[in-house]
A and B are shown apart, each in its own frame.
Chain A
Amino acid sequence: MRIWRVVLLVDLALVLGLAAGYLWWGQQARRLANELQAARAVAAVSPGGEREYRATGVVRAGLPDLGILVITHGDIPGYMPAMTMGFRTTSPTIVESVSPGDEVRFTLRGTPPNLAITAIDKTAP
Chain B
Amino acid sequence: MGEVAGLLARWLHLASSIFLVGGAALLLIARPSDRPTARRWESWILTACRVLVLAALGSAIATVAYQTAVLEERWAAALEPAALARMLTRTQAGNVWLARGGLLVLLAAFLAIRAEVRDRADWRALRGQAALLGLVALGLVAAAGHAAAVEPGAAAAITADVVHLAAAGLWIGGLPALALLLWLAGRRAGADARPYAVLAARRFSRVALALVGALAVSGLWSAWVQIASVAGLLGTRHGNLLLVKLVTFAAMLVLATLNRRLIPALGGEAHSVGRPAMRRLSRVVAAEASLAVLVLAIVAAMTVTPPARHEQPTWPLSFRLTLDNLGSAPDLASQVLVGSQVAVLGVVALLASLALRRLRLPVLAGGAVVLVAGGAIAVPPLVSDAYPTTYRRPDVAYQAASIADGRRLFDAHCAVCHGPQAAGDGPAAATLQPRPPDLRASHVALHTAGDIFWWITNGRPPMPAFGDRLDVDARWHLINYLRALAAGDAARLLGPTIEPERPWLVAPDFTFNVGPEYSRSLREYRGRRIVLLVLYTLPASAPRLGELAEAYGLLASLEVEILAVPTDAAPDAIRRLAGGPPIFYPVVTDGARAIVEAYRLFAPAPHAEFLIDRQGYLRAIVAAPDAPQRDPGRLLAEVERLNEETVTPPPPDEHVH
- Asked whether A and B interact, the reply is yes
The contact string, 1 if C-beta is below 8 Å from chain B, for chain A 80-116, is 0011100000000000000111110000000000000
Q: Give the nearest-CB partner of A123 in chain B.
A: B516
Decide if A14 is an interface residue (CB 8 Å cutoff). yes
Contact partners of A14 in chain B: CB under 8 A: 103, 106
Find out whether the CB atom of B577 lies under 8 angstroms from the CB atom of A3: no
Shortest C-beta distance, B143 to chain A (Å), equals 10
Shortest C-beta distance, B180 to chain A (Å), equals 25
Q: Give the nearest-CB partner of A14 in chain B.
A: B106
Which of B125, B519, B585, B586 has most A Cβ within 10 Å?
A: B125
Find out whether the CB atom of B122 lies under 8 angstroms from the CB atom of A60: no
Q: A10-B129, A72-B514, A82-B517 are in contact. Are A63 and B575 (CB under 8 A)?
A: no
Decide if A120 is an interface residue (CB 8 Å cutoff). no
Find out whether the CB atom of B516 lies under 8 angstroms from the CB atom of A7: no
The contact string, 1 if C-beta is below 8 Å from chain A, for chain B 568-611, is 00001111111000111110010000000000000000000000
Find out whether the CB atom of B121 lies under 8 angstroms from the CB atom of A2: yes
Decide if B115 is an interface residue (CB 8 Å cutoff). yes
Within 8 A of B (CB), among A1-21: 2-4, 6-8, 10-11, 14, 18, 21
Contact partner of A101 among B103, B516, B574, CB < 8 A? Answer: B574
Contact partners of B518 in chain A: CB under 8 A: 57-58, 72-74, 82-84
Q: A61-B583, A82-B518 are in contact. Are A100 and B121 (CB under 8 A)?
A: no
Decide if B381 is an interface residue (CB 8 Å cutoff). no
Find out whether the CB atom of B122 lies under 8 angstroms from the CB atom of A3: yes
Shortest C-beta distance, A48 to chain B (Å), equals 29
Find out whether the CB atom of B586 lies under 8 angstroms from the CB atom of A72: yes
Contact partner of B582 among A7, A11, A70, CB < 8 A? Answer: A70
Contact partners of A101 in chain B: CB under 8 A: 572-578
Decide if A53 is an interface residue (CB 8 Å cutoff). no
Contact partners of B124 in chain A: CB under 8 A: 4
Decide if B382 is an interface residue (CB 8 Å cutoff). no
Shortest C-beta distance, A31 to chain B (Å), equals 15
Q: Give the nearest-CB partner of A4 in chain B.
A: B125
Contact partners of B514 in chain A: CB under 8 A: 58, 72, 84
Find out whether the CB atom of A7 lies under 8 angstroms from the CB atom of B126: yes
Count the B residues whose beta carbon is within 8 Å of the partner chain — how many?
A: 35
Decide if B117 is an interface residue (CB 8 Å cutoff). yes
Shortest C-beta distance, A89 to chain B (Å), equals 16
Decide if B99 is an interface residue (CB 8 Å cutoff). yes
Decide if A75 is an interface residue (CB 8 Å cutoff). yes
Contact partners of B121 in chain A: CB under 8 A: 2, 4
The contact string, 1 if C-beta is below 8 Å from chain A, for chain B 115-134, is 10101011011101100100
Q: Give the nearest-CB partner of A29 in chain B.
A: B92
Find out whether the CB atom of B584 lies under 8 angstroms from the CB atom of A7: no
Find out whether the CB atom of B122 lies under 8 angstroms from the CB atom of A73: no
Contact partners of A25 in chain B: CB under 8 A: 95
Cα separation A124 to B575 with both chains bound (whole Å): 12
Decide if B515 is an interface residue (CB 8 Å cutoff). yes
Find out whether the CB atom of B125 lies under 8 angstroms from the CB atom of A8: yes
Shortest C-beta distance, A113 to chain B (Å), equals 20
Find out whether the CB atom of A61 lies under 8 angstroms from the CB atom of B126: no
Cα separation A117 to B73 with both chains bound (whole Å): 51
Shortest C-beta distance, A8 to chain B (Å), equals 7
Contact partners of A60 in chain B: CB under 8 A: 574, 582-584
Which of A58, A63, A82 has most B Cβ within 10 Å?
A: A58
Contact partner of B99 among A3, A18, A61, CB < 8 A? Answer: A18
Shortest C-beta distance, A65 to chain B (Å), equals 12
Contact partners of A10 in chain B: CB under 8 A: 106, 129
Cα separation A125 to B616 with both chains bound (whole Å): 37
Within 8 A of B (CB), among A39-58: 56-58
Cα separation A7 to B126 with both chains bound (whole Å): 7
Contact partners of A61 in chain B: CB under 8 A: 582-584
* 12 other A-B residue contacts (CB within 8 Å) besides A61-B584, A101-B573: A2-B121, A4-B121, A4-B125, A56-B516, A58-B515, A58-B574, A60-B574, A70-B582, A73-B517, A99-B575, A100-B574, A101-B576
Q: Residues of B at under 8 Å CB distance from A?
A: 95, 99, 103, 106, 115, 117, 119, 121-122, 124-126, 128-129, 132, 514-520, 572-578, 582-586, 589
Return the 9 tightest CB-CB contacts between A and B, nearest first. A74-B517, A101-B575, A58-B515, A61-B582, A4-B125, A101-B574, A3-B122, A7-B125, A100-B578
Q: Could you list 5 A-B pairs, sorted by A, with CB under 8 Å?
A: A4-B119, A100-B582, A101-B577, A102-B575, A123-B516
